Amino acid sequence: MRFSPPRPLFDANAAAGGASGKGLGSLPDWDLSDLYPGPDAPEYERDMDWLIQACADFAAKYEGKLASLSAAGLLGCVQDYEAIDVTAGRIMSYAGLRYYQNTMDSERAKFMSDAQDEVTDATTALVFFSLEFNRLEDSHLETLLAGNADLARYRPVFERMRAMRPHQLSDEMEKFLHDQSVVGASAWNKLFDETMAGLMFRVEGEEEELNLEATLNLLTDPLREKREAAAKALALVFDKNIKLFARVHNTLAKEKEIEDRWRKMPTPQTGRHLSNHVEPEVVEALRNAVVAAYPKLSHRYYALKAKWMGLERLQVWDRNAPLPLETPKVIDWATAEKTVTEAYAAFHPELAKLAEPFFKKGWIDAGVKPGKAPGAFAHPTVTTVHPYVMLNYLGKQRDVMTLAHELGHGVHQVLAAGQGELLSSTPLTLAETASVFGEMLTFRKLLDEAKTPAEKKTLLAGKVEDMINTVVRQIAFYDFECKLHAARQDGELTPDGINALWMSVQSESLGPIFDFMDGYETFWAYIPHFIHSPFYVYAYAFGDGLVNALYAAYADGLPGFEEKYFELLKAGGSKHHKELLAPFGLDASDPKFWDKGLEMIAGFIDELEAME
């Protein structure tokens, strides 16, 4: 249930921001009135009052009685639970999205905190539901499901709930953890967000101090000295704040370790795998395949990039540098919209039609503004409203790809909404499917339209870099998290200790061509995924590998691919990844599956080498 505000889970290739929309045309802002007209709107108060009463009524009606319910009675119970989920999700979506528009606004921060407090207090009455449901005998539940098709539709929800049975605590302890959550991880999340939003960086050569987004954006500047100045400014400020960031990581990792220990989770990653409905061995196969491919992917590509740049060694500020043959250009918003929409329409007109309201109805917030959360994300809100997309658009080609990516999420969320609140939510492992596929469609359109070999080379190199960021870099992040959580079990980690863990995965993943400046060891500090959603990052690599295999099936002319693809998106969280991929002849549990996706990246690098 969505009892927390939306978290800004910034996508792997989200554009780094800057300070203006100059030359970009009119950038859209969110219209949050589809959720509520305003923070003081009577509709908001009405829904909060309803939620408080509905939660109390639910407990009075069902607590201690689930085992005695008929199939129709249990269906009614689940539907009542779902209705509460919709209202709680609507409230927290509004509070969270409004906050992320300006995280430095204390009124917005207070509004979100107060909303979370009220929702958490109200929904404490519901904690019994999953606990009591999980105590139902398997044979009894199967009898109920066999006799009622409407109830059986919720089987995937029940299976995910019952996967937690071995890790369930006492009713009293579960209620305590629910109540305590507002001053636990969520409070540390807010501290991190507000600290990051408030950091300012003095970059040599810049007239004014810059925020994090603008400074990260300079790492893609054509001028090498400007990239170097930005990297050193980042390192300086991160180092000044490193004790705070180390405290946040230490506290959250320890809190997780305590809860995992009480729940008898065998590994720190187990909870994420359970919520993703994916087997640990599948994730391990993905991780191992990517690590084994480092030499033929990132190591080989960056050596090629050094050659293009006329350098014997690369520095960390060269990693995302534009190629020397690349002509810097600003892509205005109207062109970006046209590019992505046409790419979607070329696949199927319905895909473009689903994307249209995002542009026309205030479902996108694109401009870079003071206090706005960095990066990009798509938040589904609730199935009775619609998703919202956040960008920090600066007119770079990578920003256009980010738009294609986030619109993919949005379209996926719109299609899955037909499943209803409890079945629409897609596990993270499949949540990147439509986003990465949308990127691939847009990339292929741009590649087909390339007029010169230099333009084609630039596009191919940009795509390879994005794929390396999505696959190689995210698996390196995952390894860093695994090491950090394992080390935290042995005691408090010093900033130097965390720095050492970070550096242990960097040279391995990026390759021997890189030198690492003093200060780069602190760059773990600004990655929000580690704070907001531990072990989230492997979902990016999972999604990229899955989509590469899917796209290969599409390119090979698999009969009925478009219809099968739409059915996959409409399924939301109602089916396991094995069942969803079967119509395409794919199986993610086959270790060789991941090699197919990695071969696509290697193939692009082959093309680049052939252009030499």
Identify the top-confidence range among 235-249, 369-383, 573-587: 235-249
Q: Which residue, among 191, 278, 215, has the nearest Cα to 270 in the 3D structure?
A: 278
Classify burial at 45, counting beta carbons within 10 Å of its beta carbon; exposed 0-12, middle 13-18, buried 19 or more.
exposed
CB neighbourhood size of 474 (10 A): 24
- Locate all alpha helices (DSSP H) within 201-241, ordered by sequence: 212-217, 224-240
pLDDT at 373: 87
The number of C-alpha atoms within 13 Å of 551 and in the hemisphere containing its C-beta is 25
Report the pLDDT averaged over residues 363-378: 91
Q: Which residue, among 86, 85, 74, has the nearest Cα to 151 in the 3D structure?
A: 74
In 3-state terms the chain splits into helix, strand, coil percentages (rounded to 5) of: 70, 5, 30
Rounded-to-10 torsion of CA 208, 212, 214, 218? 100
pLDDT at 520: 97
- Crossing angle between the packed helical segments 397-416 and 453-470, to the nearest 10 degrees: 50
CB neighbourhood size of 61 (10 A): 12
Per residue in 494-514, pLDDT (tens digit) is 999 999 999 999 989 999 999
pLDDT at 396: 86
Using a pLDDT cut of 70, give the percent of the chain over it: 96
Give the residues across from 315 on adjacent strands. Answer: 515
Three-state DSSP class for residue 611: coil
Query: CA 108, CA 593: separation in Å to the nearest integer?
Result: 46
Report the pLDDT averaged over residues 206-219: 91
- Answer yes or no: is pLDDT of 18 > 70: no
Report the pLDDT averaged over residues 64-85: 97
Stretch among 101-115, 322-336, 374-388 having the lowest mean pLDDT: 322-336
pLDDT at 80: 98
pLDDT at 455: 87
- Answer yes or no: is pLDDT of 185 > 90: no
Q: How far apart are the first and last CA of the chain?
A: 53
Determine the Cα angle at 305 with ends 303 and 306, to 5°.
Answer: 65
- Answer yes or no: is pLDDT of 19 > 50: no
Query: CA 229, CA 359: separation in Å to the nearest integer?
Result: 36
pLDDT at 15: 41
Q: Which residues, 6 or more positions from 187, have their beta carbon under 8 angstroms from its beta carbon? A: none
Query: CA 46, CA 42: separation in Å to the nearest integer?
Result: 6
- Answer yes or no: is pLDDT of 253 > 60: yes
Q: Domains of the chain: which residue ranges?
A: 32-168
pLDDT at 218: 94
Residue with the two structure tokens 């199967």: 142
Query: CA 180, CA 176: separation in Å to the nearest integer?
Result: 6
- Answer yes or no: is pLDDT of 166 > 50: yes
Rounded-to-10 torsion of CA 459, 463, 464, 466? 140
449, 515 Cβ separation under 8 angstroms: no
pLDDT at 21: 54
In this structure, which amino acid lies at residue 295? Answer: P
311 pLDDT band (50/70/90 cuts)? very high
- Answer yes or no: is pLDDT of 38 > 70: yes
Which tokens belong to 126? Answer: 């519901």
pLDDT at 326: 66
318, 305 Cβ separation under 8 angstroms: yes
Query: CA 91, CA 96: separation in Å to the nearest integer?
Result: 9
- Answer yes or no: is pLDDT of 273 > 80: yes
Give the residues across from 326 on adjacent strands. Answer: none
- Answer yes or no: is pLDDT of 453 > 70: yes
Per residue in 120-160, pLDDT (tens digit) is 999 999 989 998 999 999 999 999 999 999 999 999 999 98
Query: CA 588, CA 425: separation in Å to the nearest integer?
Result: 20
Report the pLDDT averaged over residues 97-114: 94
CA distances for 322 relative to 57, 327, 458, 465, angstroms: 59, 9, 9, 10
The answer as to CATH 1.20.140.70 being correct for domain 32-168 is yes
- Crossing angle between the packed helical segments 433-449 and 561-570, to the nearest 10 degrees: 140
CB neighbourhood size of 455 (10 A): 16
Q: Mean pLDDT of all residues in the chain?
A: 91
Give the per-residue SS3 of 385-407.
CCCEEECCCCCCHHHHHHHHHHH
Query: CA 409, CA 6: separation in Å to the nearest integer?
Result: 15
CA distances for 6 relative to 96, 256, 332, 351, 453, angstroms: 6, 20, 29, 25, 43
- Answer yes or no: is pLDDT of 215 > 50: yes
pLDDT at 278: 86
Query: CA 457, CA 608: separation in Å to the nearest integer?
Result: 7
Which tokens belong to 26? Answer: 């009119």
CA distances for 581 relative to 426, 508, 561, angstroms: 14, 32, 12
Q: Which residues, 6 or more positions from 450, have their beta carbon under 8 angstroms from its beta carbon? A: 456, 459
- Answer yes or no: is pLDDT of 8 > 70: no
Dihedral sign for Cα 305, 307, 308, 312, please: positive
pLDDT at 307: 95
pLDDT at 543: 86
